[in-house]
Amino acid sequence: MRSVKAAVLAATMIGTFSIAQVPASAAPVGIQASYGGTTIDLGKGWKDAQVCAEFAVGDVRCFRTPQDFAATSGEFGIAAAEDCKYTWVCLWENIDHTGRRLQWNASGTKKLADWGFRDQASSAALHRPQSGATLVNYVTALPDQHAYLAANGIYSDFRSFGWNDKADEIQVG
């Protein structure tokens, strides 16, 4: 009986000492997305992707061009607000719906740092008939600021209401 206890204790100790630490650089920072047959961490960067989309919770895919996205989704516009199809909420990094595009088809709170998009949104389109979205700007020592985006809204320039490159979070309804 003593030898069994000693073996269990030894196995426990060996197991404890054999646990390897994951380097900080390898630990996930943000949302994991499939891109070109690999997985990328959007919190660390988008590589050369121009469109990243959450099709459903946990199903995030990135594409090199809007055309690559269209080939997968079967939806295509002119690389502008029209690219944000029915039921989607879309943000662009530049005004007039240009630059990188981040979009969701799943409701929920999205912390934009996890998506590599914090303080980078400059225009939006919401093609949802019943629910809009709320942008949140985290402000230290003050209440967070909120900007409400209406369902079926097209916002080509966040500067018009003082929100260019300020969004830290989006709450998709």
**pLDDT of 4 above 80:** no
118 is a domain residue:
yes
- Any domain includes 130: yes
In a domain, 121, yes or no: yes
- Whether pLDDT at 82 is above 50: yes
> Would you state the pLDDT for residue 11?
44
Residue 72 confidence class, pLDDT cut points 50, 70, 90: confident
Domain assignment of residue 19, yes or no? no
Please report whether residue 3 resides in a domain: no
Give a yes or no: residue 88 inside a domain: yes
pTM of the model: 0.81
Distance CA 19, CA 72 (A): 41
Assigned domain for 149 exists: yes
Band of pLDDT at residue 76, cut at 50, 70 and 90: low
| Contact yes or no for 148/91 (Cβ under 8 A) | no
- The Cα 152–Cα 85 span in angstroms is 10
Is residue 131 predicted with pLDDT exceeding 70?
Answer: yes
Band of pLDDT at residue 53, cut at 50, 70 and 90: very high
> 172: Cβ–Cβ under 8 A, 6 or more apart, which residues?
89, 104, 106, 107, 108, 109, 110, 131, 133
CATH number at residue 85: 2.60.20.10
| pLDDT bucket at 62, cuts 50 / 70 / 90 | very high
pLDDT at 23 over 70: no
Residue 21 resides in a domain: no
Please tell me the predicted confidence (pLDDT) of residue 147.
97
Number of structural domains the chain divides into:
1
Please compute the mean of the pLDDT values over residues 114-138 and round it to a whole number: 96
Residues 142, 83 contacting (CB under 8 angstroms): no
Give the pLDDT score at 71. Answer: 87
Q: DSSP E strands: which ranges in 36-156? A: 38-41, 51-56, 59-63, 89-94, 98-104, 108-111, 123-126, 133-137, 145-149, 154-155
pLDDT of res. 8: 43
* 129: containing domain: 30-172
Query: Which residue's entry shows tokens 């121009």?
Result: 50
Split at pLDDT 50, 70, 90, the class of 21 is low
